[in-house]
Amino acid sequence: MSRPLAEKFASVESSDLVDYGFGHTRDFLAYPYARGGYDWVITNPPFKLAMEFAERALEVARQGVAILARTVFLESITRYETLFLPRPPTYVAQFVERVPMVKGRVDPKASTATGYAWFVWDKTQNSAPTRLVWIPPCRSKLERPEDYIQASFRS
């Protein structure tokens, strides 16, 4: 995710628990990031920690947070009461096509039955109600052959 973001933004700082060849190796939940230390936090957290990542990201980001998560992230009384009710996302952007994700690599033959969405908190629009939007089919337009090079974690 960091490489495409670096193609569009002047500065991208990345971290992960595992060294994928881009960014720092560190724990986002434990590292002492400064409150409001970044404009945006954009992440694809482990699903079981997605709520903790969202809460931490909302502290760290000045302008906004974007979390890529399974659509079922919307479900759960605890997430509703502690995250979505007090701080609803500005957008839930649902992929209309399935996005196969394989841990630590890109696989052109991968498939999935899991739906994914972007959960976006735009802090400049605090009072706006959550808006559901759809991400139209785009995988074939956005993928590039070099995305599938086995050594795709080059710097």
Between the alpha carbon of residue 112 and those of residues 67, 70, 104, the distances in Å are 19, 11, 16
The predicted-structure confidence for 27-47, as pLDDT tens digits, reads as follows 999 999 999 999 999 999 998
**What is the structure's pLDDT at 104?**
55
**What is the structure's pLDDT at 92?**
97
Percent of the chain residues past pLDDT 90, beyond the cut? 52
The predicted-structure confidence for 88-117, as pLDDT tens digits, reads as follows 999 999 999 877 676 655 566 777 778 899
The predicted-structure confidence for 65-79, as pLDDT tens digits, reads as follows 999 999 999 999 999
Residue 39 token pair: 């404009």
Q: Counting Cβ atoms within 10 Å, is residue 50 exposed (0-12), middle (13-18) or buried (19+)? A: buried
Three-state secondary structure call for residue 150? coil
- Give yes or no for residue 148 having a pLDDT over 70: no
